[in-house]
Chains A and B, each alone.
Chain A
C-alpha cells in the first residue's frame, strides 16, 4: 500500500469529514422518487430549449424584417400630440388616471397591487394543488366566473363614468359634495368601488362555490388580471382625441401637433 494520491491530510487530522450539502428535507428531496418519472436533461430538455430558441429567433427576424419600429419627428416640447399616450403596457394606468386622482391611480394602486401580489404565497400557504392548472375543476369554474365578473364590471364602470361626466356630474359634485370635486369623485368613490367590488367577488365565490383560500385567491388574481387587460385594451384601442371614449373602429387618428391657443 502506497500513499494515496491527492493532497495529504495534516498530521492529527487524518480522519476528516466533508459536509457535502445541508439540505432541508422538504425543499429538495422528493418522496417516492421513481426513475421512470425522470428524464435526462441532455438530450430531452435541451432539445426543447434549442428548438424554442431557434423558432423564436427566426420569428423575431421575420417580424423585424416585416415591421419597422415607429419613429416620428424630432421631439418638440411646444407641440403636444392629442392624445399623448404612454407605451401600451402602461396604458392601463393611464386609463385609470381618467377615473380618479392621478397619484392614486398612477402610484398608490399599482404599488399596492404589486405588494399584494408579492404577498399571495404568504396568505395562501397550503400545498394543495401544486402543479395542477386551477387546482380543481371548481378552480376553473371560479376563474371563468371571476374573469366575466371583472370584465363586465370594468367596462360598465368606464361607460358609467363617461355618462356621468357627460351629464355634468363633476360640476354637480364641486357645487354640492363636501370636499368639492376632489374628495368624493377622485378619492372616496373610486377607493370604495375598487375595495368593495373586490370584497364582493370574494364573498360571492365563497357563498356560491364554497371557495377556500386558494380558490378565492384564484378569484381575486383573475379579477386583477382581467381588469388589467380591460384597462389596457380600452386605453390602447378606445381612447382618441382628448382621451375621449370611442368605439375601437371609430378612434380618430392622433393630432400630431396640438398648439395651445392664444392666452
Chain B
C-alpha cells in the first residue's frame, strides 16, 4: 500500500491512531529510513521473524490502545535467542491483553547505539502544522532544548533548526567524538515536512528516538495521529 492508501484505510476503519508498523510503512514510502517492524500474531511467528531478522531483536507491544509502549512494560530490548523471545512474548502479551484483547507484538532488529534525537510534528491551534526536533531524552524533556519551524521546511531551514539547538555540539562532535551525520537528519526533517504538507490529515507525528550515526540515521520508533 502507498501512503495515501494506508492513511485512507485507517480513516475508513475509524482509527485516528496508527500503529508503529503502519507508521514505519508510511515512512518507508517517503524514503525515511526506519528499522523494520514485523507484525507477529503468535509466539511461533515471533520466533520465526526473529530468526529471519537476525539476533539480537526487540519485541514491542502493538495496540492502538497503548500509545506509551515502554511505560506499560510493552518493550523488550536486546533479545539474544528464541528462548528470550518466547519469554518476552508471553510477558508482553499477558500485560497487553488485559488492556486490549486484540493486542499483538512486533519484532524488530536491535539497532546499534548512536546519538538519539526526537523529531515530531504537531498541529498548533494558531500555526497549523509545525515541525519539531530536539536531542533525545533529558535534553528535550527536562531542558526543553527543541527547535520549532513552520511546515513546509526546506533543507536550509532544517539545518538551521538542528544547529540552533543548545546541545548541537553533541551532534557536531566533541571530546574526540566524530561528528554525527547531520545531513541524514536534515534529509529526514525535510521528508517529514513533505509528508505532512502532502497529507494534512496527519495531525501529530512522533519519531522518537531517531538515532544518528557517523553515517546515516534511523527511526527506531514512531507514532502518528490523524485529525479527528
Note whether A and B form a binding pair.
no
